[in-house]
A and B are shown apart, each in its own frame.
Chain A
Amino acid sequence: MKPADQPVLLTPDMLNQLERMELVSRKIFRGRMKGERRSKRKGQSVEFADYRNYVPGDDLRFIDWNLFARLDKLFLKLFLEEEDLHFYALIDCSKSMEFGSPSKFWYAKQLAAALGYIGLCRSDRIRIEPLGTPLAMQAPVLRGKQSLWRMLDFVGKLPSDGNQSLETSIKSFCLRNQGKGILVLITDLMDKSGYEQALKYLISRDLDIYLIHVLSQEEIDPDLKGDLKLLDAEDQDIAEVSVSQRLLDRYRHTLARFIEGAKEFCSKRNIMYMMTSTDRPVDRLISRYLRQRGLVR
C-alpha cells in the first residue's frame, strides 16, 4: 500500500478519546524514572506511607518532629514514590497478518498505537516492537505526548514480512528487555510451531500480559466453495479441500476449539486473553472490552 493511500492510524477523535484514559496494571512495578504511578519504593511524593526508626545517615528532613516531641524518639516519615510504567506492545508481523479487510496487521498497528498513545499521555515508558523483523532492534522507547509522531511514524512503517516463529521472536524480546510492566501481544496465533512456548517466555518475565488474538472475518466465517487448493501465505504449505457444509462446520468447530484452548492456556497462567475480529473498531475495543478487562480506565 502506498503511503498516500494509507489511512490515518489514529484520528483526532480517537486521540481525544484516548487522552482521557490511562493504562492500568494489575501489578505494581518499580519504574526507572519518576513518573505518575505509585511505586513499591518509598519516595518523595506527598502521599504518606509509613514510619520507621531513624538510623544515622537518614535525611533529617523526613524526621517527624512532632512525634519526637511526644515520644522522644526519632521516627522517619516514609512517603510513597511515584514512578513511570513500562508498556510494551508486541505486534505479530508475520505474513498471515496481512489478510482480512481491514487487514489484521493494520488492525494490530492501530491498536498498538492507540494503547501507546494512552501511555504517552501518562508519561509511561512505551515501546512498540514488531515481532520477527530486524526492525525489532530499532524499536524506540517513547515517553511523553511529544513522542506521538515518532511513534506513529515508526508503527506506520512497520512491514508485514516477519519470517521468524512467534517463539523465536518473543525469546529474542525477552532477552533484550528486562523491564517489568504491561505487555500487550497482538497476534493471530497462526504459528504452526505453537504459541505456548512463546507465552511461557513472557510469563517467566513476570509481566502483566495481555494477549489480543486478532482474526479476520474471512477466518471466522470463510466464504469458500468448490474444490480448492489452499496455499499457506507464510510457508506455502498446501491443503486440498473440497468445501462442503460439513467441512465448514468442522472448520468452525476447530477454530472454536483453538480459541478455547488459547483462552484456557492464558487464564491458567494469569494472562488476560481476548479474541477480537478486525470488524470490531479499535476505539470500541479499547473503550469497552479492554476497559472491562482492566487494561485501561
Chain B
Amino acid sequence: MSWMNALLWWQWLVLAVVPPLIVLLYFLKLRRQPLVVPSTFLWTKTIEDMHVNSLWQRLRQNLLLFLQLLLVLLLMLACLRPGCQGVELQGDRFVFLIDQSASMSARDLGDRTRLEEAKLQVQQTIKRMKPRDVAMLISFSDRAEVVQSFTSDQNLLQRKLADVKQTQYKSDISEALLAASGLANPGRTATEASDVQVADSLPATLMIYSDGAVLLAQEILLGNLTPQYFPIGSPETPNNVGIVAFAIDDEGVADGKLEAYAQLQNSIDMDRQVQLSLTVDGNLLDAKTSPLLKAGATAGLSFDLSRLLGNITQPQRIKLSIEESDCYTLDNSVEIVLNPPRPRNVLVVTPGNDYLQLALQTEQIARIAKVEVRGRDFLSTPEYSERSNLGGYDLVIFDQCQPAVMPQCNTVFLGSIPNDPTWAWGEPVFPTAIIDFDRSHPVMFGVQLTQVMIIEGRPLTGPKGVQSLLEATYGSIMAIAPRSGFEDLVISFPLMSADEQGNPTINSNWPSQLSFPLFVSNVIQVLGGGSRLLAAQNVSPGEVTRLPMPQTVMQVQLKPPQGNRLLIQRTPSNEFVFSQTDQVGVYEARPSDADDALPVLFAVNLMDPRESDLLVREQLKLGDEQVAGDRSVQPARQEYWKWLVMAGLVVLVVEWLIYNRRVLL
C-alpha cells in the first residue's frame, strides 16, 4: 500500500477544517425546527429517561454526526490516493510519440492491432504518472500531430489518447521528433543581458511507441530529450506477403502491347508462394502463382493486359489481390486505373519551318499524336482562344511567335519566349558554342548534341524552378520551367532565320542531325501528355493531387472509396486540388453538374516496402543514437480511491435514510 498526495497544503487545510465544522454545526443544531405540541410533559419525561446516559446511548444518539465524520474521513483518504503494486515513472515531463502509420494496423498480437496495443501501453503509462507530472501526446505517420500539449490532467490525456486514429500513411518520425524537441530544446537561448529568453530548456523523457518501421528523413538533435523506445508488435516474425509495387507499362500501346508489373515482398522468415488474381472492373482477368519468395526477399511478376486495349472506352479499375490472408491486409490488394488511350493533340504555330514539320511527320509521332500546323495568324482567331483555353491541345509549339495569353497546356517556344515577365532573354550572341546539356531530363533522353552548331542564340532567364537543359558559353539557351501544373520548354535560338532581304537562312545544323527527330519525339511523348494518357497517376495516401478537368468545369464531385461524396471548387490558381487522399482505393471525380459525364479516376495506393516489412525493430536509430527497445511491461498503479468514494456514497445514503426514514439503529 502506498499513498499519493493529490492535494496542495492549503487544500488539506481547508479539508481539515471540515470535520470540526461538522461537529460545531451538529452541536449548534442550527437546523432544529420549532413545532408546537399539546404538552412537552411526556417528551420531557422521555428525554429524561434517555438522559440516564450510558456512553453507548450517547454514541447512538450521535450516529448521524459519526456518519458525517466518517464520510469526510473517507473523502480525505481518497484524496491521499491509496494504491499498490504500481511502478512509478522516473522523471516529471514525458512526450508520448505514438506511431499511427499503416504498418500499425497489423494484427500480429491476436485480436488487437499494433496501434491498439500501443494505446493500451500508453494508457497504462499515463496511469503510472505522478499527480504533478506533465505529458504531451504526439501521433505521427509521415506527418506529426500534437494531439495534446503538455498537461498534468491525466483524464484529458486518456481522452485524447482515445482520439488517436489509425491512418494508412507512410511513416516518418522526423516531424514528430521536431515537435517533441521544440519544447525540450528551445531554438533560442539568452546569451546576452538584453536577450529575451523565449523558453526554458526543460528536459523530458521521449517515449516512442512504434514498430520501428519509421524513416528519419532529417537529422534531429535530441538534446534534452531522453528517448525510450517501446517496440510494438510480435517479437516473432509476422506472417505477411505484400504487394509493394504495381505499375502498367503503356510504352508499347502503339504496338498493341500493354503489360502490368508487380513486385511482392515476403517478410516471413520462410520461403513462400502466394496466389494472385487480377481483376478488371471486378471481372477476373488473370490468376497466377507467384514465384517462390525467399524469406525477407522480393520478387516480380508481370501480367499481359494487351487484350484490353481494343475494349478500353472508359476508365478501368485494375485490381491485383493476394488470395491468402495475413495479419496485415493493407498490402494484400492494389488497385490502379487504366484510362482509354487517345492521341495527343499537338498544335504547331509557325511561319514555315520545313525541318520541324518534317520531324513531326515520322511514323512514330503519327501513331501517338495528331499534329496540326497553323500560321501565326491563327493565334488571333476565336477558334484558337477557345481550344487553347478549354484544354483542346495537349501541347502547342510556338515557332518564332508568341501568344497573347498562355494556353492551358504544355508549350514549346522555338526562337521566342513566353509572354510572361518571368521569362527574359538577352541580345543575340554570335557565335554560340554549346558547352553542356542535361541528359537526365526525359526530353533529352538519348539526344546527342555534340555535333550541333548554332549560329546565333540568346541567353535565357526563367521563372522560379526553371531548369536549364542546354548551356552555351554565355548562358542557358534551352530551359524548361513549371507553370500552374503545365511546363514551358523555351529554346532561345530558331532553327531557321531570315537574312536582310527576308530570305530564309539556316541558324543551326541541328535539324540535319539524327538527334533532332529524336528530341522532337521526346517532346511529343513527354510534354504531349506522356504516360498519363493510359495509366492514370498513382497517388500515395495523404499526397496532394491535381484533378485533370476541362476548363469549363467549375465544381467537381468526388467519390472516395468509402464515405460520402465531396464537392471540390476550382482554386484561384485555376486547378482542382484534392488533399483528402486518406483512404487507399480508387477515387472517382466528375463534374458536379454532369452525372453522365465520363468520370476521371485516380488510385491511391500505399505500396511501401518499409510499411509492408512487419518485422519489429528491436532498436531505433535516431541520428547518431541507437535506442534499444524495452518490451518489459510495468504494471500500472492500482488505485483504491474510487472504492473509498463509493464507500463515502454508501455512508451518505445510510445517513440520509437514518435522517429521513428513522431507520432503527
What is the interface of chain A, defined by CB distance below 8 A to chain B? 95-100, 104, 188, 190-192, 216, 218-219, 224-234, 237-248, 250-251, 253-255, 258
Complex CA–CA separation, A99 to B31 (angstroms): 25
Which residues of the partner chain B approach A242 to less than 8 Å between Cβ atoms? 61, 64
B38:A245 contact, CB within 8 angstroms:
no
Shortest Cβ distance from B35 into A: residue: A228
Complex CA–CA separation, A238 to B43 (angstroms): 10
A258:B42 contact, CB within 8 angstroms:
yes
B38:A227 contact, CB within 8 angstroms:
no
Complex CA–CA separation, A224 to B32 (angstroms): 12
Answer yes or no: B358 CB below 8 A from chain A CBs.
no
B46, B50, B664 — most chain A CB neighbours (10 Å) = B46
Which residues of the partner chain A approach B60 to less than 8 Å between Cβ atoms? 246
Chain B residues 15-55 with CB under 8 Å of chain A are 29, 31-47, 49-50
What is the interface of chain B, defined by CB distance below 8 A to chain A? 29, 31-47, 49-50, 60-61, 64, 658-660, 662-665
B33:A226 contact, CB within 8 angstroms:
yes
Contact status of A233 and B38, CB under 8 A, knowing A226-B33, A227-B31, A258-B45: yes
User: How far in angstroms is the closest Cβ of chain A from B459?
Assistant: 103
Complex CA–CA separation, A108 to B68 (angstroms): 47
A240:B32 contact, CB within 8 angstroms:
yes
Partner of B39, one of A226, A233, A248: A233
Partner of A247, one of B35, B44, B50: B50
Partner of A224, one of B35, B41, B50, B61: B35
B50:A226 contact, CB within 8 angstroms:
no
B37:A230 contact, CB within 8 angstroms:
yes
Which residues of the partner chain B approach A232 to less than 8 Å between Cβ atoms? 37, 39-41
Which residues of the partner chain A approach B61 to less than 8 Å between Cβ atoms? 242, 244
Complex CA–CA separation, A225 to B32 (angstroms): 11
Which residues of the partner chain B approach A228 to less than 8 Å between Cβ atoms? 32-35
A241:B47 contact, CB within 8 angstroms:
yes
Shortest Cβ distance from A188 into B: residue: B38
Complex CA–CA separation, A97 to B38 (angstroms): 7
User: How far in angstroms is the closest Cβ of chain B from A194?
Assistant: 10
A96:B35 contact, CB within 8 angstroms:
no
Shortest Cβ distance from A240 into B: residue: B32
Shortest Cβ distance from A243 into B: residue: B662
Shortest Cβ distance from A97 into B: residue: B38
Which residues of the partner chain B approach A104 to less than 8 Å between Cβ atoms? 38
Shortest Cβ distance from B662 into A: residue: A245
Complex CA–CA separation, A248 to B35 (angstroms): 16
Contact status of A241 and B38, CB under 8 A, knowing A227-B29, A227-B31, A229-B33: no
B38:A219 contact, CB within 8 angstroms:
yes
A240:B29 contact, CB within 8 angstroms:
yes
Complex CA–CA separation, A248 to B49 (angstroms): 12
- Excluding A190-B38, A253-B46, 20 further A-B contacts by CB distance (< 8 Å) are A97-B38, A190-B39, A226-B31, A227-B29, A227-B31, A227-B32, A228-B32, A228-B35, A229-B33, A230-B40, A230-B43, A231-B34, A232-B39, A232-B40, A233-B37, A239-B44, A246-B665, A250-B46, A254-B42, A254-B46
Partner of B50, one of A98, A225, A250, A258: A250
Complex CA–CA separation, A218 to B38 (angstroms): 10
A188, A192, A224, A241 — most chain B CB neighbours (10 Å) = A241
User: How far in angstroms is the closest Cβ of chain A from B664?
Assistant: 4
B40, B61, B665 — most chain A CB neighbours (10 Å) = B40
Which residues of the partner chain A approach B49 to less than 8 Å between Cβ atoms? 250, 253-254
Which residues of the partner chain B approach A218 to less than 8 Å between Cβ atoms? 38
Which residues of the partner chain B approach A251 to less than 8 Å between Cβ atoms? 42-43, 46
User: How far in angstroms is the closest Cβ of chain A from B188?
Assistant: 67
Complex CA–CA separation, A241 to B34 (angstroms): 10
Which residues of the partner chain B approach A96 to less than 8 Å between Cβ atoms? 38-39
A245:B29 contact, CB within 8 angstroms:
no
B46:A229 contact, CB within 8 angstroms:
no
Complex CA–CA separation, A121 to B660 (angstroms): 53
Which residues of the partner chain A approach B32 to less than 8 Å between Cβ atoms? 227-229, 240
B38:A254 contact, CB within 8 angstroms:
no
Complex CA–CA separation, A188 to B38 (angstroms): 10
Complex CA–CA separation, A232 to B37 (angstroms): 6
Which residues of the partner chain A approach B660 to less than 8 Å between Cβ atoms? 225
Complex CA–CA separation, A113 to B438 (angstroms): 134
Which residues of the partner chain A approach B34 to less than 8 Å between Cβ atoms? 228-229, 231
Which residues of the partner chain B approach A219 to less than 8 Å between Cβ atoms? 38, 42
Shortest Cβ distance from B33 into A: residue: A228
Complex CA–CA separation, A216 to B39 (angstroms): 12
Which residues of the partner chain B approach A227 to less than 8 Å between Cβ atoms? 29, 31-33
Complex CA–CA separation, A242 to B49 (angstroms): 14
Which residues of the partner chain A approach B659 to less than 8 Å between Cβ atoms? 225-226
A247:B33 contact, CB within 8 angstroms:
no
Complex CA–CA separation, A264 to B43 (angstroms): 21
A244:B36 contact, CB within 8 angstroms:
no
Which residues of the partner chain B approach A98 to less than 8 Å between Cβ atoms? 38
Complex CA–CA separation, A217 to B651 (angstroms): 34
Partner of A245, one of B50, B64, B663: B663
Which residues of the partner chain A approach B31 to less than 8 Å between Cβ atoms? 226-227
User: How far in angstroms is the closest Cβ of chain B from A238?
Assistant: 7
User: How far in angstroms is the closest Cβ of chain B from A198?
Assistant: 15
Complex CA–CA separation, A57 to B188 (angstroms): 149
B37:A255 contact, CB within 8 angstroms:
no
Which residues of the partner chain B approach A224 to less than 8 Å between Cβ atoms? 35
Complex CA–CA separation, A234 to B40 (angstroms): 9
User: How far in angstroms is the closest Cβ of chain A from B388?
Assistant: 94
Q: Which 5 A-B pairs have the closest CB atoms?
A: A190-B39, A96-B38, A99-B38, A239-B40, A232-B40
B40:A238 contact, CB within 8 angstroms:
yes
User: How far in angstroms is the closest Cβ of chain A from B549?
Assistant: 80
Which residues of the partner chain B approach A247 to less than 8 Å between Cβ atoms? 46, 50
Which residues of the partner chain B approach A230 to less than 8 Å between Cβ atoms? 35-37, 40, 43
User: How far in angstroms is the closest Cβ of chain B from A103?
Assistant: 10
Shortest Cβ distance from B62 into A: residue: A242
Complex CA–CA separation, A138 to B115 (angstroms): 102
Partner of B43, one of A99, A188, A241: A241
Which residues of the partner chain A approach B29 to less than 8 Å between Cβ atoms? 227, 240
Which residues of the partner chain A approach B35 to less than 8 Å between Cβ atoms? 224, 228-231
Complex CA–CA separation, A163 to B40 (angstroms): 16
B50:A190 contact, CB within 8 angstroms:
no
Shortest Cβ distance from A219 into B: residue: B38
Which residues of the partner chain A approach B41 to less than 8 Å between Cβ atoms? 190-192, 232
Which residues of the partner chain B approach A192 to less than 8 Å between Cβ atoms? 39, 41
Which residues of the partner chain A approach B47 to less than 8 Å between Cβ atoms? 239, 241
Partner of A239, one of B43, B658, B662: B43
Complex CA–CA separation, A100 to B47 (angstroms): 23
Complex CA–CA separation, A50 to B45 (angstroms): 58
Complex CA–CA separation, A268 to B49 (angstroms): 26
Which residues of the partner chain B approach A226 to less than 8 Å between Cβ atoms? 31, 33, 659
Complex CA–CA separation, A219 to B665 (angstroms): 23
Which residues of the partner chain B approach A237 to less than 8 Å between Cβ atoms? 40, 44
B45:A254 contact, CB within 8 angstroms:
yes
Complex CA–CA separation, A225 to B35 (angstroms): 11
User: How far in angstroms is the closest Cβ of chain A from B186?
Assistant: 63
Complex CA–CA separation, A16 to B658 (angstroms): 52
Which residues of the partner chain B approach A253 to less than 8 Å between Cβ atoms? 46, 49
Complex CA–CA separation, A247 to B31 (angstroms): 18
List 8 A-B pairs, Cβ < 8 Å.
Answer: A95-B38, A97-B38, A227-B29, A229-B33, A232-B39, A233-B39, A244-B61, A258-B42
Complex CA–CA separation, A235 to B604 (angstroms): 96
User: How far in angstroms is the closest Cβ of chain A from B30?
Assistant: 9
Which residues of the partner chain B approach A254 to less than 8 Å between Cβ atoms? 42, 45-46, 49
Partner of B662, one of A225, A241, A258: A225
Which residues of the partner chain A approach B39 to less than 8 Å between Cβ atoms? 96, 188, 190, 192, 232-234
Shortest Cβ distance from A222 into B: residue: B37
A246:B664 contact, CB within 8 angstroms:
yes
Complex CA–CA separation, A188 to B37 (angstroms): 13
User: How far in angstroms is the closest Cβ of chain B from A191?
Assistant: 8
User: How far in angstroms is the closest Cβ of chain A from B108?
Assistant: 65
